[in-house]
Amino acid sequence: MPTPEIDLNHKTEENSPNLSRLQKMKFTIQHYYYSYRTNISGILLGALFGFLMSHAGATTYDYHAKMFLLIDLQLVKVIGTSIVVAIIGISLLKKYKVRAISTGVEVDFVKKKYQEGLITGAFLFGVGWAMTASCPGTVPAMLGEGKVGAIFTLIGLLLGTMAYGVLQTYNAHNKTLERTHHNQD
């Protein structure tokens, strides 16, 4: 469903001086809703996701430690359930060619090709998860709960993401140099 365009400079009944304050407020709210509905949807769904993760124990350090020590497998069950729900959900989205709520564009599922260093990156991700007892998805929920340790995890995530970007740029630059050097020979 496309977003209707609202021109506030155009003389319409919305900006007519004869409208009551309540009607003007209604039009203003509608305008902001259509303009920011992606952000509003994201905030509401993110808050719901954070609440559900917190309720499941995914934001509790002890549950993560017990999972990695194989003492309590509650989080393994939560993660396994999430994977099954995601597989079913994505299958249904693909089957019915669902459109995005905010843009109306058909949701596209593009398979990414294998990248060199994926295994190493996954290993580092696991080590970071075990060391901090949190994964990237739980950090905002932990911050929302007031867990100060999550700030350091967030800093590590941002630095790691930045390092990955710098390394990818460096590798791409070196490959370009190698190709131009190889072509000159």
Q: In terms of domains, do 138 and 118 share one?
A: yes
Residue 42 has pLDDT above 80, yes or no: yes
Domain presence at residue 46:
yes
pLDDT at 130: 85
- Percentage of residues in the chain having pLDDT higher than 70: 89
Q: How many domains does the chain have?
A: 3
pLDDT at 154: 93
Q: In terms of domains, do 118 and 157 share one?
A: yes
Q: Annotate 165-184 with b (16+ C-beta within 10 A) or e (fewer).
A: eeeeeeeeeeeeeeeeeeee
Domain presence at residue 184:
no
Domain presence at residue 118:
yes
pLDDT at 17: 60
Mean pLDDT within 139-162? 92
pLDDT in tens, 91-134: 999 899 888 876 778 888 888 888 878 888 889 888 888 888 88
Q: In terms of domains, do 39 and 86 share one?
A: no
Q: Cα dist. 108→13, 63, 98, 105 in Å? A: 39, 35, 9, 9
Domain presence at residue 179:
no
pLDDT at 64: 86
Mean pLDDT within 126-152? 89
Residue 7 has pLDDT above 60, yes or no: no
Residue 16 has pLDDT above 60, yes or no: no
Rounded to the nearest 10°, the torsion over CA 162, 167, 172, 173 is: 100
Mean pLDDT within 51-72? 89
Q: What's the token pair of residue 17?
A: 């001086």
pLDDT at 146: 92
Residue range of the domain that includes 10: 1-56
Q: Of 34, 56, 78, which one is at a domain's C-terminal end?
A: 56
Handedness of CA 91, 45, 156, 135 (dihedral sign): negative
Q: In terms of domains, do 33 and 70 share one?
A: no
Q: In terms of domains, do 42 and 69 share one?
A: no
pLDDT band at 41 (very low <50, low <70, confident <90, very high): confident
| Summary mean pLDDT of the chain | 83
